[in-house]
């Protein structure tokens, strides 16, 4: 489906977000026995949530939307190659929810500050997407926020190799939502793939983007 790019002004996107985002943290965040609404298992019938997990871990990410002359863009990062989890992959700013965090919102904003130098006052939270569980047991709460146009990323070199932007219009076009596949224990595992220029967006990041699409422009 081709989307009218005029819908990607701040006002147009805000209207979509208001009609689709969750106003509160997904209830499943507080209880790991609750089945997540979304996850790496979405495209894999018969595979349970966290199908590679030995434990469950609470996490939060920020889905940062920033206005440009051509419409809203999404800020993404490339993780450094030496990290223990998802090294070299494209991700949203985010990570585990610490005991000192006052919930997923605080964790997402803290991680964004630590990873890309985003001051909390430059983020305007709009609402939440569904809880997303990765195959390795991370139960992620995505917080969508508008970012001040004057923000200039400062990557944390120990965690972030690169910060880049992708037009929201590209990510909200279902024609750009491809499917990839890899073999896992003799079974084919499928996942969303959204290649953009030299960037290979896949896995949980692509799955969360697909959830954003389903709740807003895919309605």
pLDDT at residue 83 above 70?
A: no
φ, ψ for residue 98 (rounded to 5)? -80, 160
Residue 120, token pair as written in the block: 């909390």
Task: Give the separation between CA 165 and CA 176, rounded to whole angstroms.
Answer: 16
Rounded-to-integer distance, Cα 13 and Cα 198, Å: 26
In 3D space, the residue among 50, 49, 45 whose CA is nearest the CA of residue 188 turns out to be: 45
Q: Is 83 exposed, middle or buried (0-12, 13-18, 19+ CB in 10 A)?
A: middle
Q: What is the pLDDT of residues 44-75, one digit of tens each?
A: 888 888 887 888 999 999 999 999 999 999 99
Question: What is the per-residue pLDDT for 86?
Answer: 52
Residues 6+ apart with CB under 8 A from 142: 60, 61, 62, 63, 92, 108, 128, 129, 130, 132, 208, 211, 212
- pLDDT of 87 over the 70 cut: no
Q: pLDDT digits over 148-180, tens only?
A: 999 999 999 888 999 999 999 999 999 999 999
Q: What is the torsional sign of CA 197, 92, 208, 67?
A: negative
Coil, strand or helix at 195: strand
Which class does domain 5-214 fall in? alpha beta
Helix, strand, coil percent values for the chain (each to nearest 5): 25, 35, 40
Q: What number is the average pLDDT over the span 190-196?
A: 95
Q: Is residue 183 within a helix (H) or strand (E), and if so which, with residue range?
A: strand 178-184
In this predicted model, what pLDDT tens digit does every residue of 105-154 receive, in sequence order? 999 999 999 999 999 999 999 999 999 999 889 999 999 999 999 999 99
**Can you give the pLDDT at residue 32?**
87
**β-sheet bridge partners, residue 180:** 191
Q: Which pTM does this prediction carry?
A: 0.93
Q: In the chain, what percentage of residues exceed pLDDT 70?
A: 93
What phi and psi values does residue 121 have, to the nearest 5 degrees?
Answer: -70, -10
């Amino acid at each position: 489906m081709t989307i009218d790019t005029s819908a990607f002004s701040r006002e147009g996107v805000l209207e979509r977000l208001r009609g689709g985002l969750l106003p509160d943290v997904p209830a499943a965040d507080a209880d790991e026995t609750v089945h997540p609404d979304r996850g790496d298992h979405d495209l894999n019938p018969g595979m349970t949530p966290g199908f590679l997990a030995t434990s469950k871990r609470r996490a939060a990410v920020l889905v940062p939307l920033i206005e440009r002359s051509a419409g809203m863009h999404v800020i993404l990062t490339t993780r450094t190659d030496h990290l223990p989890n998802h090294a070299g992959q494209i991700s949203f700013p985010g990570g585990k929810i610490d005991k000192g965090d006052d919930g997923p919102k605080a964790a997402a904003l803290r991680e964004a500050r630590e990873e890309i130098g985003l001051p909390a006052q430059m983020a305007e939270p709009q609402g939440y997407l569904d809880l997303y569980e990765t195959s390795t047991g991370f139960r992620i709460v995505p917080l969508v926020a508008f970012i001040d146009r004057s923000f200039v990323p400062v990557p944390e070199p120990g965690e972030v190799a690169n910060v880049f932007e992708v037009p929201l219009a590209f990510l909200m076009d279902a024609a750009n939502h491809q499917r990839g596949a890899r073999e896992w224990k003799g079974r084919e595992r499928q996942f969303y793939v959204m290649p953009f220029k030299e960037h290979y967006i896949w896995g949980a990041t692509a799955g969360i983007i697909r959830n954003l699409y389903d709740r807003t422009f895919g309605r």
